[in-house]
Structure 1
Amino acid sequence: MSPDYVPAVIITILVVLGVIVLILVGWSNRKRRQSHVPTPASIPGTLTEPRTEVEGTYVVTTAAGDRLDRIAVHGLGLRGNALLSVGQDGVAVLREGGTNFFIPASALELVDTTSNMVGKAVEKDGIIVLRHHQDGFGFDTGFRARYHTDKAGLIQAIKTLIPAAAGATTGKEAK
């Protein structure tokens, strides 16, 4: 390498390292600001037999109603492969390499679909969104079924869990 390029290489390396540091600082600040967000429910020791199990991608969990406000704490902001298991008592989110969590049927408010959530954009209504609450905090959890043919059955299975007071409807119908 020519000595003329050494300063440019050093500056480039410093800029890249600076960007990485800023990203890490931003992520840790987001986690600090979200320290009030409750820890998701653990998967109970005994679950009812699943009605439906669907492989796919856990997209993200956001604050309810704001699909751009990623929840960073408790590992909820990290995308990855997952299995959604819907049983009589609720929905188990089983994540590869991430924290598994449980959404009790009584906590479900609605099931909806969307095309995008925090940096993940897909075809029209390609992401299934489960709105749920815990300890007074509302969440929107996104999941994308691996196979399009599984989506309708998954949505129907989740709809049957939503308490009648919540309307047992999708957000699209409620609008």
Structure 2
Amino acid sequence: MPYVLPVLLLAAATALILSAMYRSWRRRARGVVVTDLPALPAGSPAAPADPPVEGVYVSTTIAGRPWERVLAQGLGARSAVDIQVLPARAGLPGGVLLTRRGARDVFIPAGTIHDVHRASGMIGKVVDTDGLVVITWQVGETLLDTGLRTRYGADRARLHDRIHSLLVATGENANPEG
């Protein structure tokens, strides 16, 4: 019986800490203003010339701040992903389609992409030199960085180049060396 009071105090402290963590997580989800994400255009796009690239959706952060994860709209959920780069065709805008397993799919229209580069890490993942492909894009007034890790190292340069070709097609000035 002499341990009842310490056990109750420890349980109360644990409950208090978990409650504070949950409130903080919810506040962060509301803190970054991300309006509705762009929807995949009506009508199914033609199959891309290249097959999807398998990988991991690492996270989305505020552009330039790789340690500040965006939680709104499900963008903070790490998941397996199939990445398709869709060129503009027959009135359908081009873009990058991220088909995520266990999380909401994300479509990044080509016109919202500001840059594509490679990085060594962002929140939730630190990898070898230039192991992530990072897409800088805009939703509403907010610039975001979305990090992708390809399953196979040989796919990284090819994915970067395909996304960069969308920037060239839309007239954006992106970092060609990545």
TM-score, normalised via structure 2 length: 0.85
Q: How does 1:6-85 map to 2 (within 5 A)?
A: 6-34=4-32, 36-44=33-41, 45-50=43-48, 51-85=50-84
Q: Distance in 1 between the 2:113 and 2:51 partners?
A: 16
Shift of 1:83: 1.1
Question: 2:47 is aligned with what amino acid?
Answer: E
Runs of 4+ in 1 over 4 A off after TM superposition: none
Q: Distance in 2 between the 1:17 and 1:142 partners?
A: 34
8 A contact 1:60–1:118 mirrored in 2: yes
Q: CA RMSD in A?
A: 1.9
Identity %: 33
8 A contact 2:58–2:124 mirrored in 1: no
Q: How does 1:20-169 map to 2 (within 5 A)?
A: 20-34=18-32, 36-44=33-41, 45-50=43-48, 51-88=50-87, 89-163=94-168, 165-169=171-175
8 A contact 2:59–2:78 mirrored in 1: yes
TM-score, normalised via structure 1 length: 0.86
8 A contact 1:110–1:130 mirrored in 2: yes
Comparing 97-106 and 156-165, the one that deviates more: 156-165
Deviations 1:91-144 (A, max 9, x none): 001111111120111211211111121132122211110011133321111111
Q: Distance in 2 between the 1:48 and 1:66 partners?
A: 35
Question: 1:127 is aligned with what amino acid?
Answer: L
